Structure 1
């Protein structure tokens, strides 16, 4: 380890840089630290907003909007403790643990024309860094750990085209890490680190690379340094991310509020003859105008029978009088996603068949949300949805009454061929390594989204219901005192939906 520290000191860490790191660890205000870093390194701005450059977005002490610097330190501490706990079980506690978390890279739609950059959420969660082509290495030796952030070098030409970079000198003060180096020094650092710790455990998710060049480099370096295998830390990352902090819950609530308002406005402007694309454009506009950076995913805007296509995102058909619109949309607000589905009659009045299906879905959803008080698993929630839907569909003769429970479940699944819930957070389908077979706990945020889709190929369906599709989806915070619907500002009662859909009628 001594050799590594000498190497770090030689190439990048100067006395003032270390002083700034130390100050950032004390009660000195973040603004003071940032001001001094700007003066020392001649920076007008960093590679991302700060409370000084964007006071309308960040408050004093926040590294990203809504989340302060100390929370990121706490997250890294929690990660180290989880890794140590995991190694204790495997009797590998005496070996050095090296965790490598890469950022995302820019992706280009054509030469020199990038897609909108979206950070790797695992990297963002543990660093707060919003820049592309970076990496975090956490080195754990016994119970001590060092965080090293690799960032892009300051470069006038690149910054002229792509905007400012924070650079290695100022990164420790901004991100609260122990030290920072240019990404170009990653290879030398990694080799020194491995040579110093021959029997280390390397934590890196090699099966889902997010930074192609760094991944290629790591695989090559692994062979050079005789690294036989990487251990994926993904499941541990997601265990930590699964339970939301109060700061995260506030951001999620805001994301849900924005998307709820946008969907309400979109229901209000819909009318027979509207293009699905226009509804898409409206929900996108309303979300952005109220603070969201962009939509959380390509929305489903399905008029009429298109609602039978679960992931319909073509959104280019005219919605006819008498059709319903199924809209599945959400936004991303400062890194946190919402996910809402509402279904409404474009002419403002549900037909009898539309109304009965909608009423079934709404009733089932309300029962399932209340069921969350008992802290079930998401799979148990899905099983209960199938039972409830099946019994109600029997009552309206869309499933035969003489079915056994197994046949009833299968028949219900033919009407709703998707799960009823998933975890929600920084990603829409959040913490994917967490199975749906674990019981929900306070601090989790999930969706509850039953649906009925009547495809004419369904052998149980009758013709008057052909082509109808209904889904109702809300985002729900699990609490000890009972579930809290974060999307409660988006109406779903039949009378409220019809009133909204009629609001622009003469």
Structure 2
């Protein structure tokens, strides 16, 4: 029989057998497949104990504890049996038929558990007497070899438990019964669920809507604001990730400046920015960038990015990357010729002076709205110095005139989303751990006949990412050049 077998097979069969496997043979780790990077499969990205790069299971647990604490404290004067949070993740969306857009997880869901697979739901129940004040249950898409053949591996409920460290996991098909049993045994509870903008419409229509119309709960609340109050204050780990995101984008901007020249297409600068961020290990650009040459810079959210930038025109680029779930957001304006004209330099230095002054106001003594009002006054004063506004304008009139040259706010919160924590008012005082943008601009359309010709068609914005501390603000994007001399020096090195 052996002589009819291939030679290699015969040799293998003749190898000596032994039962002493643990003595000389190396240990073999069984590696299961997960639907997201884990330390075992991606040791270059994650350390042991991390759910997502830089963020540990303990930090995710702390976030959940803090969220439930906020809810309990809000109702401490009211008799309720329990609190339950329903936090759905995002679902895939499709360009056409079965061609999906790149998936981006719903950020409140991601903040609370770190699970990155679409179509999942996190449930938090308050638990009196439990050390962690709650139980956490994650409902995930079940393992499906046919779908995984096309779309990649799923963690399944066992894998999700290993990845996230929540208390328990179930298949998503078990969610309806779970909620039914909860309402049956916990009448008079508070339901925390965002029903007006459901991130998973299928789950909302089939399950959550039915759960809402049952008269078992005492009150229905939106958890978004509570969650965003937590998200607005960054932990040390989050600050590290955002600093890295800012560094990547800053370095990429320098290479884009060097790459630019008269006659370059805006699309080429877009592509260069995307490339430079990705090779520095950013996953994606954080948003569609603005690459606006010449007069197009006066369109605040110009994203066509398909025109030629001519000699002696400025290009305004508003771009940033996403690094392990955290965004950066930078704007720089520079001359593709390598040299600012006199009028361009006057306006540019005006915007830069305004921005530097506004950055110094990013302290706990001020709110973003107060900094915005200061920006308007500073714009008015700078335009008066240049001669573009009447020197007799005072206070309210000056601010009103300045709005004609800068129609947007000076700042927004920054974090997992570019325009982060939108439920948090810009009228509250800044707090240590907040990260905000500072982005004044001056925009003069070429059709504006009230200013001298050489100033027409110029749009300038300068934007940095700033960490609020107990003392002085820290500019996370300080590696991105923004003085006239520095920019012209970089352009000259091209």
Q: Could you tell me the TM-score, scaled by structure 2's length?
A: 0.91
Match of 1:138 in 2: 124
- Answering whether residue 52 of structure 2 is matched by residue 55 of structure 1, we say no
Match of 1:167 in 2: 156
* CA distance in structure 1 between the aligned counterparts of 2:127 and 2:452, rounded to whole angstroms: 67
- Partner secondary structure for residue 125 of structure 2: strand
- 8 A contact 1:94–1:142 mirrored in 2: no
* CA distance in structure 1 between the aligned counterparts of 2:96 and 2:216, rounded to whole angstroms: 38
Match of 1:318 in 2: 308
* CA distance in structure 1 between the aligned counterparts of 2:190 and 2:427, rounded to whole angstroms: 29
- 8 A contact 2:138–2:168 mirrored in 1: yes
- Answering whether residue 448 of structure 2 is matched by residue 462 of structure 1, we say no
- Answering whether residue 365 of structure 2 is matched by residue 379 of structure 1, we say no
- 8 A contact 1:106–1:114 mirrored in 2: yes
- Answering whether residue 410 of structure 2 is matched by residue 424 of structure 1, we say no
Match of 2:322 in 1: 332
Residue 374 of structure 1, CA deviation: 5.3
Match of 2:175 in 1: 186
Match of 1:80 in 2: 68
Match of 1:411 in 2: 401
- Answering whether residue 179 of structure 2 is matched by residue 154 of structure 1, we say no
Match of 2:96 in 1: 110
Match of 2:349 in 1: 359
Match of 2:220 in 1: 230
What's the Cα RMSD here?
1.7
- 8 A contact 2:448–2:456 mirrored in 1: no
- Answering whether residue 275 of structure 2 is matched by residue 285 of structure 1, we say yes
* CA distance in structure 1 between the aligned counterparts of 2:36 and 2:446, rounded to whole angstroms: 52
Match of 1:64 in 2: 52
- 8 A contact 1:399–1:460 mirrored in 2: no
Gaps spanning 5+ residues in structure 1: where? 1-34
* Map 1:206-225 → 2, pairs under 5 A: 206-217=195-206, 218-224=208-214
1:124 is aligned, of 103, 107, 110, to 110
Point out the structure with the larger helix share.
1
1:348 is aligned, of 313, 338, 344, to 338
- Partner secondary structure for residue 230 of structure 1: strand
2:243 is aligned, of 253, 256, 269, to 253
- 8 A contact 2:35–2:152 mirrored in 1: yes
- Partner secondary structure for residue 362 of structure 2: helix
- Partner secondary structure for residue 34 of structure 2: coil
User: Highest CA radius of gyration, 1 or 2?
Assistant: 2
- 8 A contact 1:268–1:500 mirrored in 2: yes
Residue 221 of structure 1, CA deviation: 3.1
- Partner secondary structure for residue 430 of structure 1: coil
- 8 A contact 1:84–1:93 mirrored in 2: no
* CA distance in structure 1 between the aligned counterparts of 2:321 and 2:260, rounded to whole angstroms: 20
Match of 2:383 in 1: 393
- Partner secondary structure for residue 75 of structure 2: helix
* CA distance in structure 1 between the aligned counterparts of 2:344 and 2:160, rounded to whole angstroms: 57
1:196 is aligned, of 185, 204, 214, to 185
Q: What are the Cα deviations for residues 16-59 of structure 1, in whole angstroms up to 9, with x where unaligned?
A: xxxxxxxxxxxxxxxxxxx99x96xxx62211111110001111
- Answering whether residue 434 of structure 2 is matched by residue 434 of structure 1, we say no
- Partner secondary structure for residue 372 of structure 1: coil
* CA distance in structure 2 between the aligned counterparts of 1:399 and 1:355, rounded to whole angstroms: 18
- Answering whether residue 84 of structure 2 is matched by residue 98 of structure 1, we say yes
Gaps spanning 5+ residues in structure 2: where? 1-26
* CA distance in structure 1 between the aligned counterparts of 2:430 and 2:363, rounded to whole angstroms: 10
* CA distance in structure 1 between the aligned counterparts of 2:148 and 2:365, rounded to whole angstroms: 50
Match of 2:392 in 1: 402
Match of 2:14 in 1: none
Q: What are the Cα deviations for residues 218-249 of structure 1, in whole angstroms up to 9, with x where unaligned?
A: 11332255668631011000000011001000
- 8 A contact 1:95–1:141 mirrored in 2: no
Match of 1:25 in 2: none
- Partner secondary structure for residue 202 of structure 1: strand
Residue 459 of structure 1, CA deviation: 6.7
* CA distance in structure 2 between the aligned counterparts of 1:98 and 1:226, rounded to whole angstroms: 12
Q: What are the Cα deviations for residues 228-285 of structure 1, in whole angstroms up to 9, with x where unaligned?
A: 8631011000000011001000100110010011111000010000000000000000
- Answering whether residue 432 of structure 2 is matched by residue 446 of structure 1, we say no
- 8 A contact 1:191–1:225 mirrored in 2: no
- 8 A contact 2:445–2:456 mirrored in 1: yes
Moved more, 288-297 or 187-196: 187-196
* CA distance in structure 2 between the aligned counterparts of 1:373 and 1:239, rounded to whole angstroms: 18
* CA distance in structure 2 between the aligned counterparts of 1:257 and 1:104, rounded to whole angstroms: 29
Q: What are the Cα deviations for residues 335-383 of structure 1, in whole angstroms up to 9, with x where unaligned?
A: 0000000000010000011000000000111111112245310000000
1:177 is aligned, of 160, 163, 166, to 166
